[in-house]
A and B are shown apart, each in its own frame.
Chain A
């Protein structure tokens, strides 16, 4: 299944840094997110877009992850040549990530 089947997401921007939230629709799927949506995987997914580090913050209270991606916006919103200078559409790309398991599966391992 796709990440889109179990989570929703929003992108924010500050300077040349993009953050993407990944929020489980159902908190019981939070372990799946923790296990499979790692910073390394997000970094690989955005290879060619994100030049810097990807740091993951965990928010178990709302079953959400927050990815902070450095050097992600073509030099910054105000000077980028990109059509989507804010990177607002990046959340939709992340939701295309393949997730092993099914929606009834609450174990972390694939």
Chain B
């Protein structure tokens, strides 16, 4: 039976780089995938592209490509990534320049067509997370990108691409594409696509399945987190899957790490909706078959839906924030007094906010008053005030009112910080799939 080994070289935009180098050098892989595109990253990248038409792709693209391309070229490892963000073609051109500079001859493909802003910005498509329609967001909309499926990436691989760079695509599809290409899976073999989606879903967050984001000392101990190895999926043409990692790397692949990642960001496990298939995780089995080797089977699927999810980035006001710390006896009481003072000051000085939040970090900032009630008092606390405003000017005033606690507030406040930022929020709509028309464009290096 034919099989391939796919390495997962990044789980988010800022992820560590050397685990991907380790995968390329020692992983015996044929494909290296970098998943680097968070929910709102495309919107932020679109802002960068509006300022400079040669930008708009992942800021770490150059560093990652320089680190892995020489090894991948020497070993024939194909690279698949969504580092194209808001501008896959510019990312492909930049990658071609890097390859040439390294003396490599590579065929680089950009997948375009996820940008559906023109197709849907004036539509009455309802927003899934908030009330209203896309049209009602008006000129606040920055970007609208459809989650593309695996087909255009598989097509690029079939046409001989060494590097495939896409913008918005479903994360598991980055992994499904090499499987479809290598095994010739039919695009309506729902069970195979469902099991392939299980593989892609498990691999897409990189270190989160090899012991990262898992350790809980005394309960779940993981060795070597400072040199965490990233995962490899061994996939057979029948969809069989073993998750493993480079021997000797840090971390651990166990049944428990795989189960945690299986349910990560999943809602109804019978209906994990993807562009290419509705995957069904309900019958998945997980079995440790050796050290750092876990077999995962039983993924199924049903027919894909008629729509694609579209991520809409829009400007959503401003957030201002300030923090200051108190310590020693009475720290909590002084922290509470500080919060009261800022609360009153924001009212006295007329800072218009639509939402305000007052936290004591160390007491109640993460889970609120109820869950933290009755716990022992900590030695130190950090005051945090955050608020939503219509203007940057007012957002700045929130942090200022925390900072002025230095000379006007309770005794012993230290380490004040403040920030104010424009908020780029993300909402979703469902677009009839025929309204997105992806295509492949090649750049030679």
Contact = CB atoms under 8 A, between A and B. Distances in A.
Tell whether A pairs with B.
yes
B254 to A, nearest CB: 11
Contacts of B281: 59
B268 A57 contact: yes
Given A61-B298, A64-B259, A76-B129, A83 B365 contact: yes
B51 interface: no
Given A10-B264, A59-B269, A62-B259, A90 B367 contact: yes
Contact of B388 (A59, A61, A81, A90): A81
B6 to A, nearest CB: 22
Contact of A89 (B214, B268, B366): B366
A8 B220 contact: yes
Given A61-B284, A83-B384, A76 B426 contact: yes
Contacts of B356: 81
B325 interface: no
A63 B316 CA distance: 41
A4 interface: yes
Contacts of A90: 367
Interface in B353-402: 355-357, 359, 361, 365-371, 384, 386-388
A1 to B, nearest CB: 13
A59 B128 CA distance: 27
Nearest to A87: B366
Contacts of B298: 61
Interface size class of A (residues with CB under 8 A): 35 or more
B316 A79 contact: yes
Contact of B265 (A12, A45, A57, A82): A12
Nearest to A16: B129
A23 interface: yes
Contact of A15 (B129, B285, B386): B129
A105 B275 CA distance: 44
Contacts of A77: 39
B2 interface: no
Looking at chain B's contact residues, the main secondary structure is mixed
B159 interface: no
Contacts of B268: 57, 68
Contacts of B384: 83
Contacts of A84: 365-366
B164 to A, nearest CB: 26
B267 A8 contact: no
A21 B128 contact: no
Nearest to A77: B39
A17 to B, nearest CB: 7
B443 interface: no
B105 interface: no
Contacts of A25: 256
A78 interface: yes
Contacts of A61: 282-285, 298
Given A10-B260, A81-B387, A4 B219 contact: yes
Nearest to A66: B263
Contact of B370 (A48, A57, A66): A48
A23 B256 contact: yes
Contacts of B264: 10, 12, 21
B109 to A, nearest CB: 29
Interface string B79-121: 0000000000000000000000000000000000000000000
Interface string B118-160: 0000000000111000000000000000000000000000000
A89 B91 CA distance: 35
Interface string A23-51: 10100000000000000000001011100
A66 B270 CA distance: 12
A93 B369 CA distance: 13
B285 A62 contact: yes
A63 to B, nearest CB: 8
A44 B359 CA distance: 22
B381 to A, nearest CB: 13
Interface centre among B266, B286, B316, B369 (most CB of A within 10 A): B266
Contact of B423 (A14, A19, A78, A83): A78
Given A19-B265, A83-B361, A62 B284 contact: yes
A45 to B, nearest CB: 8
14 contacts: A8-B220, A10-B214, A15-B426, A23-B256, A57-B269, A59-B282, A59-B284, A61-B285, A61-B298, A76-B129, A76-B130, A78-B40, A78-B426, A90-B367
Given A8-B260, A49-B371, 11 more contacts: A8-B216, A10-B263, A17-B267, A61-B282, A62-B259, A62-B262, A62-B286, A66-B266, A79-B388, A83-B361, A83-B365
What are the 6 tightest A-B residue pairs by CB atom distance, in nearest-first order? Answer: A12-B265, A21-B263, A79-B425, A10-B260, A81-B386, A81-B357
